[in-house]
């Protein structure tokens, strides 16, 4: 099989924190030598593509901002398309709020004004913020939008809670599930990936460390999938999951097993 494109996860696949994962550089070199057009797709909603490019640069990888799609990208696009005129109440990091307001969307601090609620990772999340989110969702007609489903984030010092933890906390007290959770493997994310990469799914490879996001995205799209063991998912997860990767690699360095 000749692959013309590759969708690459970032955290747990290429880097952990700001440190390169062993074997990632070799794997990227092999993909480049094979002529694969690449797209880095991250479920991190807090960093814009240029900031992600700088972060990857600090880890030793030369990546252009136009090669990067994030959950913030997907969320901003989705809200612009579906909720452009709504007052958004956001449980999330300031960097996410900046992305939304820079796109011309309206973010409000008062829970009573909420017309759509956006839920995401928020490292200052506390009981008061949970109470405010509950008040913002008192009207059952107010849509709940999650930026991404990641429960954990691979970090240099160990895994950390992600957006999924905040989304579940708010959904639990509100008593209903989000109307949509964006990022991988959602359909809005998949559309952006297709448009950005410009490669037919049958000639595209997806490499990532998560079964429920990276591999599920590739499976949904009809792409070849490869799970790396350098991040969140392990062999026990593979055995228990309904999502099955086409390949399992110790690290990105082993991608030549697929490329031939």
Active site residue 11: yes
Catalytic residue among 9, 209, 214, 254: 9
Q: How far apart are the first and last CA of the chain?
A: 8
Distance in angstroms (rounded) separating the CA atoms of residues 201 and 192: 13
Q: In whole angstroms, what separates CA 103 from the centre of its chain?
A: 19
Distance in angstroms (rounded) separating the CA atoms of residues 150 and 208: 13
Active site residue 139: no
Distance in angstroms (rounded) separating the CA atoms of residues 28 and 31: 5
Distance in angstroms (rounded) separating the CA atoms of residues 222 and 36: 17
Distance in angstroms (rounded) separating the CA atoms of residues 257 and 189: 28
Neighbours of 258 (CB within 10 A): 20
Tokens matching residue 136:
């913002």
Best CA proximity match to 162, nearest among 172, 154, 170: 154
Exposure of 228 in the CB half-sphere (CA atoms within 13 A): 29
Residues marked as catalytic: 9, 11
């Amino acid at each position: 099989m000749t692959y013309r494109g590759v969708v690459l996860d970032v955290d747990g696949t290429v880097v952990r924190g700001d440190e390169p994962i062993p074997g990632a550089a070799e794997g990227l070199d092999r993909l480049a030598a094979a002529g694969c057009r690449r797209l880095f797709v991250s479920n991190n909603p807090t960093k814009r593509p240029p900031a992600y490019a700088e972060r990857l640069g600090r880890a030793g990888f030369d990546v252009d901002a136009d090669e990067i799609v994030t959950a913030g990208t997907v969320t901003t696009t989705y809200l612009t398309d579906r909720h452009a005129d709504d007052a958004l109440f956001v449980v999330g990091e300031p960097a996410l709020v900046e992305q939304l307001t820079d796109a011309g969307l309206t973010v409000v601090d008062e829970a009573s004004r909420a017309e759509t609620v956006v839920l995401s990772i928020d490292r200052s999340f506390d009981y008061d913020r949970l109470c405010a989110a509950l008040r913002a969702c008192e009207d059952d007609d107010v849509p709940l939008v999650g930026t991404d489903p990641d429960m954990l984030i691979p970090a240099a010092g160990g895994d950390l809670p992600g957006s999924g933890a905040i989304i579940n906390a708010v959904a639990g007290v509100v008593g209903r599930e989000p109307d949509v959770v964006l990022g991988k493997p959602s359909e809005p994310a998949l559309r952006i990936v297709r448009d950005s990469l410009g490669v037919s799914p049958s000639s595209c490879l997806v490499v990532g460390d998560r079964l429920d996001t990276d591999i599920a995205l590739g499976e949904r799209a009809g792409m070849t999938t490869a799970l790396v063991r350098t991040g969140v998912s392990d062999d026990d997860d593979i055995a228990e999951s309904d999502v099955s990767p086409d390949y399992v690699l110790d690290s990105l360095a082993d991608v030549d097993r697929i490329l031939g």
